[in-house]
Amino acid sequence: MARTQGSHSGITGPRVREAAVSLFAQHGYAAVSMRQIAGEVGVQAGALYNYTPDKQSLLFGLMRDHMQDVLAAYEQLEPAKDAQEALRQFVGFHIRYHLQRPDEVFIAYMELRNLTPENFAEIETLRRRYEDALEAILCRGQDSGQFSVADTKIATLAVIAMLNGVMTWYRAGGRLSLDEVELVYWDMIRKSVAA
């Protein structure tokens, strides 16, 4: 009757990651124990160590994979012709992608301080690549005279901060549809950088 044993690597592995994502997002990395994660999966704590060398690596793996997924998804979009078009593309992509993976996104920017210095540096590099993509768009529009921002670096961070705010309140099936949300944000961002 006891617990099932044997070969379940292909099943348990993903479930460990799913449980970790859900629990880390809900209570925070430091507040979640390996035993809680194991309990969610339906397994003893020791079994987790077949899938991660330690707790820190589990967190880091989740964050790194998420950032790489975001970058890969964004970079395979077909490049827009002009800056305005590219900015709209970025806004739409960011909102939709992030609302599809709220837990991963939440972890990726809430748990940075719980990474070891080396792991932190690696995540920051990936995040930086994403920010640079947006800054490149702003610079392009600035050069072409379509945009007018006092400082492209700050504008980049301001736009991303604004977009990230959507995750704090948006709930699927709420007052506004995804299309409406995207439109509202696009409207504000378009105007905020306009010449």
Partner DNA sequence: AGCATATCTGAACAGATGTTCAGATAGAAG
Partner DNA sequence: CTTCTATCTGAACATCTGTTCAGATATGCT
Residues that bind DNA (CB under 7 A): 2-12, 32-36, 38, 42-50, 53-56
Name the minimum Å distance from CB 125 to DNA. 24
Residue 164 interaction partner, one of a copy of itself, DNA, none, beta carbon < 5-8 Å per kind: a copy of itself
List, as one string, the DSSP characters of 49-77: GGT-SSHHHHHHHHHHHHHHHHHHHHHTS
Q: Which CB, 45 or 194, lies closer to a copy of itself?
A: 194
- Contact region for a copy of itself (CB under 8 A) — 8-16, 43-51, 76-84, 158-166? 158-166
CB 78, CB 105: distance < 8 Å: no
Measured distance CA(160)–CA(131) in Å, rounded: 8
Q: Which residues contact 17 (CB under 8 A, 6 or more apart)?
A: 51, 58, 61, 62
Q: Among 84, 82, 74, which residue's Cα sits nearest to residue 190?
A: 84
CA–CA distance from 3 to each of 6, 41, 75, 77 (Å)?
A: 10, 12, 44, 46
Measured distance CA(72)–CA(85) in Å, rounded: 20
- Contact region for a copy of itself (CB under 8 A) — 11-19, 78-86, 116-124, 162-170? 162-170
Name the minimum Å distance from CB 191 to a copy of itself. 5
Q: Which of 48, 95, 181, 182 binds a copy of itself (CB under 8 A)?
A: 181
> Residue count at the site for a copy of itself (CB under 8 A)?
37
- Contact region for a copy of itself (CB under 8 A) — 47-55, 87-95, 117-125, 151-159? 151-159
**Contact positions toward a copy of itself, by CB under 8 A?**
26-28, 30-31, 110, 113-114, 149-151, 154-155, 157-162, 164-166, 168-169, 176, 180-181, 183-185, 187-189, 191-194
